[in-house]
Chains A and B, each alone.
Chain A
């Protein structure tokens, strides 16, 4: 009793009450908090503005690619030209000179063009695609021979560029791609309403081409689709199986530690290395076809596997142990526990990881260059063994092309790729929301 009394006597109160000290520092604390918030806000604004710049630049450059200039031609399908001996033989028809018909039509539209060089300039108004278009019409319906058909033929890429205002008509003739007389003809066509811009279906249905007006993204899109299909079919089951084994069944020892470190390191390996590996192993050793989505998918699987494994392991780890105990407690075997309870709960995380990995694979270019998917491929692939290219490589190829008209095509292809990516990410969000469960 005595001793405790002395303690109280000796207790000297601090010079200031706690509340005073707290108040003193309060302004400083609040200022720090405000600063911290401001930094975050600045970071976000910066990020958003860069994104806005990126989108504006791409869209402003690329939107015009969704339209293309067509020229109206009234072509007389001259039997003497197409099928002189009237055989009706498809081979004769397919080998006929459709280009000549297009040219004669153009000549008849501008009868005052006579000189050789002027004629060549005149023929340059219309794309060579007009020939193929005409042939397709005749091959589909040979009875058209002898009649006059109306054909909206794609204009040459330079005309298209001019119509879109990318060529300055006031520049001197030597400084622009179009000659003065070509501009006069185009003006004449515009006045007669024989030339107009329409929605560019070719861009979404055709494969690549050296002629910008005939080039399309579809071949690359299909190639990307097949490649991703192979990637998904390989990497998802393998990665989930690996993650489940490592997380749920593998003993914790030095070997599993080594495996874990290796997986984490593989995720950081530059993708071009995987490309070289794919070239050495899949193409040179196993003799798989070059430029094929199969090999592309294999290589991209190698690249996405670590990503999906790491995401899946994290998802499995986050399933509360009480769920495992509950299942084991009623006598479920480890596999049943895994299959009925842990895996479904981890699925949203696994799917998110998978889609992030797939989005990464969709945008990957470097490893595909190594295995020959950078080739110029016109045909649309019909399977995983057909040579093909993919969207990012197509962008790379177009960006590399000298023609002015490929600039807008490049941006348009980037927009298509971004649309794919946004769709995939949206899918990830939807899947997450749909499968998410609380416990």
Chain B
């Protein structure tokens, strides 16, 4: 508890907010007038997350998560649940900390030297942020798909088989073949690549590569899949395929997806979390967030006033 108290006393970057307020002073006044009497939270009030942070059936529970890059306080007191068999979308303007938060969930931030994470991220009754926790089994449980498709420069088969092999999920090559096939089928890539499994994964198109990366992730049978803007480098057709895939995968996995596209968030997710400058501003059902946001900042963002 002591740590939490300390962290709350850390000052928020006032200067940034000030300039923002100055330039939009007029607008703010009119908005205030308009929202008199309604439940909308004023844009200056970012201290408390609005909405329901808890999921009905949580898989991961994050409490008071703070992330620092050296001296920079990148994420402040984020409390959020990742529910079972649901897709939670994280939206917000660039640099708001949504990717950083996502990377906390499987401790990918460990690879960044200057990065420090505090707070609790509970999974199966254990704090995954504890230094005693081994990241290898954690990452087998919490898989990740990255922004840029990053297949290994090896064959398609090798790409999928690598994870199951290092974790000892298959006893022989036949079992591996089976895992490769089912993973590719579930990623909707099997029909396109079944005749060229021995060709390099880097030779596929961008959308195929990203589905290959998803297949590689689900080949390990994780319980949670983290997706960091998985469609940002893809065209609309490939994006549609991935979105369909995400919807299907929801039946078996818990998915957290970071996206810049609000339409995508609206299409694929059940819950949405809105981040702003390192604060988790609002969490709620996706329909509610997009139709009836309770926080002024959320409304500004989803209506396209900034971001």
Contact = CB atoms under 8 A, between A and B. Distances in A.
Contact of A322 (B106, B137, B150): B150
A439 B209 CA distance: 12
Which 7 A-B pairs rank lowest in CB-CB distance, beginning with the nearest? A331-B140, A330-B163, A322-B150, A331-B139, A329-B144, A326-B150, A437-B153
B1 interface: no
Nearest to A326: B150
A188 interface: no
A324 interface: yes
A345 interface: yes
B133 to A, nearest CB: 13
Interface in B102-142: 106, 108, 111, 113, 136-140
B202 A331 contact: no
B139 A330 contact: yes
Given A328-B111, A341-B152, A437-B153, 11 more contacts: A251-B113, A324-B111, A325-B146, A328-B139, A329-B146, A330-B143, A331-B140, A331-B143, A332-B163, A345-B153, A439-B153
B186 interface: no
A322 B148 contact: yes
A3 to B, nearest CB: 19
Contacts of B220: 330-331
Interface of A: 251-252, 320, 322-333, 336, 340-341, 345, 437-439
A331 B153 contact: no
Interface residues of B, number: 29
Nearest to A320: B150
A329 B148 contact: no
Given A330-B217, A331-B136, A340 B162 contact: yes
B76 interface: no
B151 interface: yes
A330 B158 CA distance: 13
B216 interface: yes
B108 A331 contact: no
B179 to A, nearest CB: 12
Contacts of B5: none
A327 B159 CA distance: 10
B70 to A, nearest CB: 13
B152 A326 contact: yes
A251 B113 CA distance: 8
B113 A323 contact: no
A438 B203 CA distance: 10
Given A329-B217, A330-B139, A345-B153, A322 B202 contact: no
Contacts of B143: 329-331
Nearest to B213: A326
Contacts of B167: 331
Nearest to A439: B153
Interface in B151-173: 151-153, 162-163, 166-167
18 contacts: A251-B113, A252-B113, A323-B150, A325-B111, A325-B150, A326-B150, A326-B151, A326-B152, A327-B162, A328-B139, A330-B143, A330-B217, A330-B220, A331-B138, A331-B140, A340-B166, A341-B152, A439-B153
